[in-house]
Amino acid sequence: MAVLLLSGLARAEELRVGIPVEGVDVLGAPDFLTPELGWTAPIEGGFVRVFVGASEAEAIAWVQQAQMAITVSLPVLPGLGDEAYGDTSGLLILRDRNVALQVRASGNAGAIAEAMLAAMPTEPVAWPAPPQLHQVEDGRWQVTAPGAVKVQFDDGGRVTPGEPELTFSEPPGTIIAWDAWGRPAIRAE
């Protein structure tokens, strides 16, 4: 049993942190989609989509979904990540452990993918904690998400005018906090 636990911990250490959502020269400003879809950013001549899964299996499933959305069969590209499909100029879908990405570009998809993979931290960083919801004075609600670069919430609450962005008159339902590496942490109702 101890050996099984230790092998599971060793595999977890092999997971990638993610790709920085800011500071990678080839990427524009990020747009956070859903935890299932990941985030996207413009690039010169196209865009990228990035998914960071809590497991390798989640990234494998994301790559399969991305391939199914393409109407043609993509050739296998050896040498990029754990698996890669497409071409190095216009369309590239790849996975490196638990991180998956799709690059749509005009002429430089491979170079952009390589720049993104090179930007990933080599040291592990703990997965972000889910955002917290606290009731504050006068029955209002406040969301805290330390380290989050973006917080999304459903329309279950209204932002109280004149208050900090994450103060509500009614509690929101699902809250998603994205960290600096594009990893979502979710607080469900």
Predicted confidence at residue 188, as pLDDT, reads 81
Predicted confidence at residue 4, as pLDDT, reads 36
Predicted confidence at residue 45, as pLDDT, reads 94
Predicted confidence at residue 186, as pLDDT, reads 95
Predicted confidence at residue 72, as pLDDT, reads 87
CA 189 vs CA 54, 133, 139, 161, 186: distances in Å: 21, 10, 18, 24, 10
CB-CB neighbours of 80 under 10 Å: 19
Residues lower than pLDDT 70 in the chain: 1-13, 155-165
Predicted confidence at residue 13, as pLDDT, reads 54
The residue extents of the domains of the chain are 15-118, 132-187
Q: What CATH number does the domain located at 15-118 have? A: 3.40.1000.20
In the DSSP assignment, the letter for residue 82 is S
> Strand runs (DSSP E) across the chain, as ranges?
31-32, 39-43, 46-52, 83-86, 91-96, 99-104, 132-135, 141-144, 150-153, 167-168, 175-178, 184-187
Predicted confidence at residue 1, as pLDDT, reads 38
Predicted confidence at residue 130, as pLDDT, reads 94
| pTM score | 0.88
The pair of structure tokens assigned to 7 is 């092998």
Sole residue written with tokens 């800011």 = 22
**Residues 39-87: tens digit of each pLDDT:** 999 999 999 999 999 999 999 999 999 999 998 899 999 988 999 999 9
The pair of structure tokens assigned to 74 is 């993509």
Predicted confidence at residue 169, as pLDDT, reads 82
